[in-house]
Amino acid sequence: MKTFLVTGGAGFIGSNFVLHLLGTRDDVRVVNVDALTYAGNLENLASLEGNPNHIFLHADIRDRDAMAQALTQYQPDVVVNFAAESHVDRSIENPGVFADTNVMGTVNLLTCCRAAWDDGKGGFGDHRYLQVSTDEVYGALQIPEAVNPDGSPADPAGATYFHETTPLSPHSPYSASKASADFFVRAWHDTYGFPSVITRCSNNYGPYQFPEKLIPLMIHNALLHRELPVYGDGLNVRDWLYVEDHCRAIELVAEHGRLGEVYNVGGHNERSNMYIVRTIISEVRQATGDAAITENLIRHVTDRKGHDRRYGIAPNKIREELGWEPQTRFEVGIKKTIRWYLDNPEWVEHVTSGAYQQYYERMYAGR
């Protein structure tokens, strides 16, 4: 039985990863550590209630005593760190929180893992640590001159992409905090021989995503006939990765990736924000039969500060070394995502009450 300690395991990607591990393997147990901030939701893990291979700990990665005790008590073979503040708008509003959690929290977790795993002779046995990062640390790419209607490059062979060797050039407080954490992870490996590896993914979407991010926000608002706020001209392009594909990649890298390396994880699904919104309108209208869900709901709002124009990942390394490729095209994944939100109205109702409503009004009122 291999033990994974997963931090941030009640959040969007973290909970999907926990469900993936325990749903596909019977040789693992998961110690799930989450501080249960606004984005952490134990309802994501309701299907695991009573599962003896799932242990939940309500703790913060910044708490050294709690992390040291968890590592001592459960002796995990693998630590996967999802725990992070992750929304760019929130980082612009309050950057200090992102530095505290994403940077100092990571440093604390690295410190505790090193202390727990060091054999006193400069070795760490078979332990492994994976830092889940983002393509946003690379900065921005230019939009190719020739693009398809969905915003993807019309000539992919001539387009530029992020590679693992691309210099880091973060543009938001969020991406700066994630880049800083990556540097600390790399420093732990280079300085102490610490057994770490980093993944950098493109934009994720799928079940359990908190509706402050583009796709669940647009689905939720469309169902309520609310305006669909689109930043600027809506032509910013992202590479979209279905969360189940990402979970498979993390599992592979966590167990088989070369230590000290970075692996980019992309979906080969570059789409503009306007294409995303229009697709959601069409698919939600078709799924519900609600003729009132039209493009008249779209409202362009003041663009986000420092809004990167395009992200695009080249996942060549993970394909060549580990055999991973994305399996879900966006046009398939978005249908599955919409269906999940339609089938889980109680989950949506619970996460869109109270503090979320206040945040939504603060972010978009008057823009």
How far apart CA 266 and CA 268 sit, in angstroms, is 6
Q: What is the separation, in whole angstroms, between the first and last Cα of the chain?
A: 53
Residue 161 among the catalytic residues: no
For 122, counting Cβ atoms within 10 Å of its Cβ (0-12 exposed, 13-18 middle, 19+ buried), the class is: exposed
Q: Write the CA distances from 131 to 84, 87, 182, 237, 336, integer angstroms.
A: 11, 18, 7, 25, 28
The answer to whether residue 136 is catalytic is yes
| CA–CA separation, 17 and 246 (whole Å) | 8
* Catalytic annotation, pick one of 129, 174, 242, 275: 174
The distance between the two most distant Cα atoms of the chain, rounded to a whole number of Å, is 68
Under DSSP, is residue 334 helix (H, G, I), strand (E, B) or coil?
Answer: helix
Name the residue among 71, 69, 103, 65 with its Cα closest to residue 84.
103
| φ/ψ of residue 241, rounded to 5 | -125, 120
- Residues 6+ positions from 221 with CB-CB distance below 8 Å: 227, 228, 297
Residue 358: what residue type? Q
From the list 77, 85, 135, 239, the catalytic residue is: 135
Residue of 77, 136, 244, 251 with catalytic role: 136
- Whether the CA torsion 205, 209, 214, 215 is positive or negative: it is positive
Nearest Cα to Cα of residue 205 among 297, 354, 338 = 338
Q: Is residue 118 flagged as an active site residue?
A: no
Handedness of CA 87, 89, 92, 96 (dihedral sign): negative
Chain centroid offset of residue 283 CA: 24
The residues that are catalytic are 135-136, 174
